[in-house]
Structures are given as C-alpha cells and as structure tokens.
Amino acid sequence: AQKITQTQPGMFVQEKEAVTLDCTYDTSDPSYGLFWYKQPSSGEMIFLIYQGSYDQQNATEGRYSLNFQKARKSANLVISASQLGDSAMYFCAMRANAGGTSYGKLTFGQGTILTVHP
C-alpha cells in the first residue's frame, strides 16, 4: 500500500527566505516516483518537480529542489528565495512506477498551505 504524509498543515515564510515543506512516504513498490504540485487559489494543479526512486541526484527546477532521503523515506520540497506568488497549497505525491504491483497508482498527501509574508 502507498501512503504519503505531510505533517505541516500550514507554513509561514518571509519573502526572499528559503522554506522546506516536509513529505514522508511509505510503499512496497521497488520503483516509484515522487512529485510536488502547487495549487494556487485559482485551483489549478501545477507540476513543480519530480524525483525517481533510482535517481542518484536530488532533483532541481529553478528555485525548487527536492531533498530526497531514500533511507528515511522523505522527499522534502525546498523553495529558495520565496516570493509572494509562492503562497499556495503544496501537495506531495507518489506514483508506483512500471513493474510494481500498484500499476501506476498516484497517491497524494493532505497538502501544506504556504503563506509568504512581505
């Protein structure tokens, strides 16, 4: 079974500072992928970053980086130099990759609301 846990219902950060959003996961699949999405108040789901379970390096996409610690089963999102436009809900998700028994199941955490203060 897959499980994603985001323990921070809400986070606050000052503009231009860095912030880490926590995500832990549990799975029995040998190969999986970890995703982060942003959902602004307008409601759309915006893909931010992806990390494969066999990737050696932590993923980075601009100001976003994923701190992947496989042994600890954590996949934290780090946003550097926060901007006011980063205020949104953030979701962590896990997908069972091909070859496992979960056939691509994509499961989400409960989300973290990030508020960036000027």
Binding positions for other proteins, rule: CB under 8 A: 31, 33, 35, 37, 43-45, 47, 49-50, 52, 91, 93, 95, 97-98, 103-111
Q: Which is nearer to other proteins, 5 or 74 (CB)?
A: 5
Question: Minimum CB separation from other proteins for residue 97, in Å?
Answer: 5
Q: Which is nearer to other proteins, 44 or 71 (CB)?
A: 44
Q: Which is nearer to other proteins, 1 or 118 (CB)?
A: 1
The dihedral built from the CA positions of residue 8, 89, 107 and 34, taken in this order, carries a sign that is: negative
Instruction: Report the C-alpha gap between 10 and 23 in whole angstroms.
Output: 13
Question: Minimum CB separation from other proteins for residue 71, in Å?
Answer: 22
Count Cβ neighbours within 10 Å for each residue of 13-23 and write b for 16 or more, e otherwise: beeeeebebbb
Let me know: does 4 contact 109? Beta carbons within 8 Å: yes
Question: Minimum CB separation from other proteins for residue 101, in Å?
Answer: 11
Instruction: Report the C-alpha gap between 24 and 68 in whole angstroms.
Output: 10
Question: Minimum CB separation from other proteins for residue 27, in Å?
Answer: 14
